[in-house]
Amino acid sequence: MPDVTVSVGARRIGDSHDKAAVLSLSVPLPIFNNGAGELARAGAEFDRAQAQRAAVSLDAEQALVDAQSDVANAQAAAEAAGPALAAAGEAARIARIGYAAGRFSQLDLIEAERALTESREVSIDALAALHDARARLARLNGSTASLYKD
């Protein structure tokens, strides 16, 4: 669309005191303008959008890989906590029996119970980390299928 400009004014002519009314009409003709500037700007915006899209895609892929790694690490920690918890439970059971028979001191019983409590805490923390990692992975995948794996 051409931008038509109209202006009106008064002008003094030469050294005399004569005045004249001036009317100006301006109509730009886009004869030599083929829109190359706008095409270049649109191309640059398109390239910027493509680069942002690629960056977001890479960030999402990296987050998914990190989440999968976190699930694997948390799974290993949870599996390792199981035997330690069982051993601590057995040690506490033996300490209770031994204390009742008079073979162990109260200090030995308390130490075995403390170790059992610490093993339970480690096991609970490992399972909580596993469930958190699975939930994060499920959120990134957009499904709840990975929440119910054993």
Q: Domain boundaries in the chain?
A: 5-28+35-148
Q: Is the pTM of this model over 0.75?
A: no
Neighbours of 132 (CB within 10 A): 13
pLDDT in tens, 88-131: 999 999 999 999 999 999 999 999 999 999 999 999 999 999 99
Alpha helix ranges (H) inside the chain: 36-101, 106-141
Q: DSSP letter at 148?
A: G
* Those residues with Cβ within 8 angstroms of residue 40's Cβ, 6 or more apart along the chain or in another chain: none
Measured N-to-C along each axis, helices 36-101 and 106-141 cross at an angle, to the nearest 10 degrees, of 160
pLDDT in tens, 10-41: 888 877 778 888 899 888 877 777 778 889 99
